[in-house]
Amino acid sequence: MFTSLKRIFRLGWLSFSRDGGISAATCFILVITIFLVSFLFLLQNVSQFLISELQEKVDISVYFKEIAPEEDILKVEKELSQIPEVKNVKYVSREEALQVFIQRHKDNPVLMESLVEVGGNPFLASLNIKAWEASQYQKVADFLKAARFENLIEKVDYHQRKPVIERIFSLSAAANQTGILLSIVLVVVAILVTFNTIRLAILNQKEEIQIQRLVGASNWFIRGPFLIQGTISGILAVLFSLTIFALICWALSPKIEFFFPDLNLFSFFTKNFWTLFLIQFFTGIGLGVISSTIAIRKYLKV
């Protein structure tokens, strides 16, 4: 048994090294396939990060009249926080709103001069409200239309922000569906391409397989070298693709971080290294071994 395994490993390595061109083509196809799978994993996580960042910026604001007492505003805040559809409520006083405006536009002399000319504090106290889903903002807006709030609330900006809110949440759903569909298509294409590439390698050794069948070699002995060959191709493809993927993440990180300060691709790569490694390993070895097994079945007449 040990002698047969040793021969299978040796024949598999000899076949891999002898058919250098076909082996290189197989490795190249596997590298592309593994890289695409890894890229989809990265794209899915990055898109989720960006969409969640956008969703965190989505809210509606309710502005209160100047005469509205702060204690009444805080009561409204407490009532809103108890609504199941509301994720978070933040109170912004008139003074805080003024300071935010000054800090944001301190380099704009026209706005600063306009603020001085207005005199006093022109801003209203407000509550910034975040809901769990886009459809829930309508319920929050309806809640604020209650008659008991009529003497407190100046306006609710839901209808002005409604198109943006719906657009962002629809983008989130579309991104998830597109990612799943793209993953399925690419995996199917990758399997077909890898299978046909390995099939060419086996076709190149068709006569050897027929001779082995004539001399009484078992199916396992014939299949074994091709499985080893597929495994070697998969391992080499994993090493190449993992190195290329790491270099790309390292090179792109500073450029992407310039636009999105909280998004560091290389940090994402290091944190998810073992997940990516396992994805690439099982993709590479799985495609190599499964494609070899399927391709050789025709000649083994199983």
**φ, ψ for residue 116, nearest 5 deg:** -65, -40
Q: Which long-range contacts (CB under 8 A, 24 or more apart) does 181-187 make?
A: 182/40, 183/40, 183/44, 186/36, 186/37, 186/40, 187/37
Q: What pLDDT is attached to residue 276?
A: 83
pLDDT in tens, the chain (302 residues): 566 677 767 766 776 777 667 777 777 877 887 887 787 777 777 777 776 776 666 778 888 888 888 888 888 888 888 888 888 888 988 888 888 888 887 888 877 777 777 777 788 888 888 888 777 888 888 888 877 877 888 888 876 667 766 676 676 667 667 767 776 776 677 667 767 766 776 676 667 777 777 777 666 777 777 777 778 878 888 888 888 888 988 888 888 777 777 778 888 888 888 888 888 888 777 777 777 777 677 666 54
Domains and CATH numbers, the chain: 2-54+168-300 (no CATH), 66-151 (3.30.70.3040)
Give the whole-angstrom CA distance, residue 241 versus residue 235: 10
What is residue 160's DSSP assignment? H
The pLDDT of residue 72:
87
Tell me the β-bridge partners of 60. 129
Q: pLDDT at position 60, please?
A: 81
Contact 31, 244 (CB under 8 A): yes
Torsions phi, psi for 275 (to 5 deg): -65, -45
SS3 content of the chain, % helix, strand, coil (to 5): 75, 5, 15
Tokens of 290: 């499964």
CB atoms inside a 10 Å sphere around CB 274? 9
Q: Report yes or no: 273 and 64 within 8 Å, Cβ to Cβ.
A: no
Query: What are the residues facing 156 on neighbouring strands?
Result: 62
Q: For residue 135, which amino acid is it? A: S
Task: Tell me the one-letter amino acid at 202.
Answer: I
Of 204, 153, 243, the closest CA to residue 23 belongs to: 204
CA separation for the pair 13, 172 (Å, rounded): 48
